[in-house]
Structure 1
Amino acid sequence: MSRDPSGAVHPPLPPPGRRVLLDRVGLGAGLLVPLFLLHARSLADAAMVVTGVAFLAASALDTGRGGWDWVRRGWVPLALVWWGWLVLCSLPLPALGLGGGGWPAFAQAVVVIRLIVFAAALEHWVLVRDGPRRAMAAIITACAVYIGVQALWQFAFGVNWYGEAPGRAGELTGPFDRPRAGPVLARILPPALLPAVAALLAVRRPAATAAAYLLPLGGVAVMVLISQRMPLVLTALGLAVAALLLPRLRPAALLAGIAGAGLVAVSFAVSPATWRRVVVQFSHQLASFGTSQYGFFYRRALVMAQAHPVFGRGFDGFRTGCMLKTYDPAGLAAEQARLGITEVCAPHPHNFYIQALTDAGWPGLVLFALLAGWWLVAVSRGMWRARPDPLQVGLFVAVLIQLWPLASTPGFFTVPLAGWYFVLLGWALAVARAGQAASAAVRAGV
């Protein structure tokens, strides 16, 4: 122990070498996550765990000097309550109406904590300095370019660089072996594009201005050609939000939107698969949503919620309960006959909020909705000033797209998309925190 001049007692400082090693491990693992998410999802998950464990170890070394303050700050306490409730609801205690998925689902609920700790590690540790934040920006931009170029290559030559053809319905898969390019690109495009567009517009030269207009136009064109409906709709939403928040980008955003609509309009000749999925199938699904398979998912989830309003069915509750005859067996048989398929169910209900309801009941849905709102508030702090940071706006858009309630989605905890989200969330929180600190320093005259 040591005493400062005031007489206060402080614990000894941790060995410098141990802390430096932890810092390097956390930084390296954290920056590798997006690269691994492209083609090595197990390694990405492992890198998230390594980052989180290193962060916890660093916090332990700083015990007594505020090392655990992050646990009591901001969104983290609410996230821990949400996670704790999910774990409780997943306990395999059928006599109490808990844990419909058994011990495997309970184990999966427990390890959800890795995502929370990983995001907190990025915000409070890995990305607190400007250098690592710049490195993350470069990595995410490179990932966006890689996915976009591969999608264009596949459109032009019929296969990607690895010889893989588009999906069964004609969707471009980019560098992947299945239709995953759209959801990922929709989320990483805003933080990759908006800072570059803003920087080019600031040059105030014709060539730079032309490039600034071409970048969002190219991004929207790639999303149209990928032919995944919901990612395209979310991209349009993100472009509209970015235009509202960044006045100088409005003409470029408007041009990109008009060009995207025009490309969709002529896709019946340029890309029939795009026309079929984006226009024909999407229009049909909207017109007959109530009788579609998606409508069945939502109705089935509500039946489960009525049967388990407080605790839900636990983690993975929709997958383990959808086919059970205890939930309206006549309705299930009718849907199978009407849709003409036996497998009318899915691993998740295709909406994060309905998933929260089936997993953890109405309390779980309320906690998740509150947490989503808190995340959006946290990543947007300081953004409402006269000249917001384009990177912060791009990250806010990425988080908003992920949490938008009126969307068909994968499972919330399903890696790789969950990995991308928590990378973007942690990065967005770190950028917002750094912006607040910079503003406070300016106000203090530092």
Structure 2
Amino acid sequence: MRSERMRKAALGAALIVPLGLLHAWVLAEICIGLVDVLFLLESARGRGFAWARQPWFLAAMLWWGWLLLCSLPLPLLGTGGAGWRMGFMQALVIPRFFVLTAALQGWVLSTPGARRAAWWMLAASSVWIGLEAWQQYLTGSNLFGDHRWSDGSLTGPFRRPRAGALYAHLLFATMLPPVLAMLGRRGAGWRGVGWRAGAVGLAALGVVTAVLIGQRMGVVLSAVGLAGTALLVPQLRRVVLVLVLVAGAVLLATPVISPPTYAKLVGETYVNLRHFTLSPYGELFTRASVMGLQSPWHGWGYNGFRVLCPLARFGGGLPALGIAPTALGLGACNLHPHNFYFQAFVDAGIPGVGLFVGMIAVWLATLARGLWGRPEPLRVGLLIAVVTFVWPFGSADEFPILYMSGWLFFVFGLALAAREEAVTSWGRRLPVDTSKPLRHLG
């Protein structure tokens, strides 16, 4: 009885995490800490620590251990400049995210009702971001009075342009279960047509929203999600084709319906790609490469890029590749390299990026197991969400920083919990026949 009360308390705290990640990061941090503490107490009381021997957890701890070693302020490693000031203490507490994931997987979300509640929190977050983006698009400001960002992108419910990537991360995890459920509803005449039209309309609305938000990575990650859906769910391939055509039509229409979106997605993207090495992202990646190459075996420790990037020794460019020297005035330095893999290279050298890639590979293999033969919609959507978080090509936030990576580990925990029994948003198994396309899509 006491164990169940502890689990329900941890569940209550876990369900607050998405709300905190949206608008109250301190609240999210407190709730994550509470879930971790309750889970560790429960493990110590008799549940045991078998969860810590899982391959995904061991891979994460191996990467973290090397990163922590590289972040120690040891003169022989040359990491003292970034060590105690910021990096070491922040690296020290990274495992709180891994413990949260394990707690969600095997304890907090161990019942269908708990998993259903967690999915609803993700769905509510996705709908909230989408509604606020549309309000900002139609009225000029969101509920809090914030307008479009200076680059033309919609900020949704946020003050800064954080909506695009986050919306894309959550989109397929929250959209696929209801879309497939609606397509699975059978009815004669107009009733059946209505369910099918509603499913396609819901999916189209989600993808169009991602385009109109007007952030490049949000659009790219949505395209990754569409490709993953077509690969894993054969029944949806025709729907995906429709969604691609709709998204393309909306993008072509943006010069008329949303000129700032066109300027951001097309105009600025063309300029950046044409002169990539001189763009802010090119400057960041070049600087990160130079830093990593100057310390290839242990890097510069966690937050080494933030602390040491401005040093003149890292501004020489990559002459062997014909890449010119970087300049602080062009954006060569920032809080982080804006890419998980460049960050892993700068923080912990070649071994660090190798362990990071291995960790991601183990995570994805764990989540993908069994999906090829039976693509349960919730599991497919959650796998796509994790893939979009760890997608290596493009800009990303710092790893693992709370306001974005907190979402990753919440989704990862729910995905692990859903492996044994896929559930829809109302808690019943959704039959999916993968042997042939659904008749109503023919």
Q: Same fold (TM over 0.5)?
A: yes
Q: Summarize the alignment of residues 8-407 of structure 1 with structure 2, pairs less than 5 Å apart.
A: 16-17=1-2, 19-62=3-46, 67-103=48-84, 104-204=86-186, 205-328=192-315, 335-336=326-327, 341=329, 344-385=332-373, 387-407=374-394
For residues 333 and 346 of structure 1, what CA distance do their matches in structure 2 show?
Answer: 19
Superposed displacement of residue 315, structure 1: 0.4
C-alpha offsets along residues 175-211 of structure 1, whole Å, 9 cap, x if unaligned?
1111111111101111110001100000131111000
Superposed displacement of residue 342, structure 1: 6.5
For residues 343 and 375 of structure 1, what CA distance do their matches in structure 2 show?
Answer: 33
Q: TM-score, normalised by structure 2?
A: 0.90
For residues 325 and 340 of structure 2, what CA distance do their matches in structure 1 show?
Answer: 26
Superposed displacement of residue 124, structure 1: 1.4
For residues 183 and 333 of structure 1, what CA distance do their matches in structure 2 show?
Answer: 30
| Equivalent residue letter for 1:243 | A
| Residues 207 and 122 of structure 1: CA distance in aligned 2, closer, same or farther (over 3 Å) | same
**What is the total number of aligned residue pairs between the two structures?**
415
**SS of 2:159's equivalent?**
coil
For residues 298 and 433 of structure 1, what CA distance do their matches in structure 2 show?
Answer: 40
| Equivalent residue letter for 2:283 | F
Superposed displacement of residue 329, structure 1: 5.7
**Partners of 1:90 and 1:100 within 8 A in 2:** no
For residues 110 and 320 of structure 1, what CA distance do their matches in structure 2 show?
Answer: 17
Q: Percent identity, please.
A: 41
**SS of 2:79's equivalent?**
coil
For residues 252 and 330 of structure 1, what CA distance do their matches in structure 2 show?
Answer: 46
Superposed displacement of residue 268, structure 1: 0.6
For residues 315 and 163 of structure 2, what CA distance do their matches in structure 1 show?
Answer: 36
**SS of 1:96's equivalent?**
coil
Further displaced range: 321-330 or 423-432: 321-330
Structure 2 unaligned segments of length 5 or more: list them.
187-191, 430-442
C-alpha offsets along residues 288-313 of structure 1, whole Å, 9 cap, x if unaligned?
21222211212211211122111110
| Residues 362 and 99 of structure 1: CA distance in aligned 2, closer, same or farther (over 3 Å) | farther
CA RMSD of aligned residues (A): 2.0
| Equivalent residue letter for 1:382 | G
Superposed displacement of residue 96, structure 1: 3.0
Q: TM-score, normalised by structure 1?
A: 0.89
Superposed displacement of residue 27, structure 1: 0.9
**SS of 1:51's equivalent?**
helix
**SS of 2:314's equivalent?**
coil
**SS of 2:396's equivalent?**
coil
Superposed displacement of residue 428, structure 1: 0.8
| Equivalent residue letter for 2:343 | Q
| Equivalent residue letter for 2:65 | G
**Partners of 2:340 and 2:398 within 8 A in 1:** yes
Q: Does residue 416 of structure 1 match 2:403?
A: yes
Structure 1 unaligned segments of length 5 or more: list them.
1-15, 440-446
For residues 186 and 38 of structure 1, what CA distance do their matches in structure 2 show?
Answer: 15
C-alpha offsets along residues 338-390 of structure 1, whole Å, 9 cap, x if unaligned?
xxx275311111110110111111111011100101110111111111x3101
For residues 129 and 423 of structure 1, what CA distance do their matches in structure 2 show?
Answer: 16
| Equivalent residue letter for 2:204 | L
For residues 404 and 175 of structure 1, what CA distance do their matches in structure 2 show?
Answer: 24
For residues 40 and 350 of structure 1, what CA distance do their matches in structure 2 show?
Answer: 23
For residues 160 and 140 of structure 1, what CA distance do their matches in structure 2 show?
Answer: 20
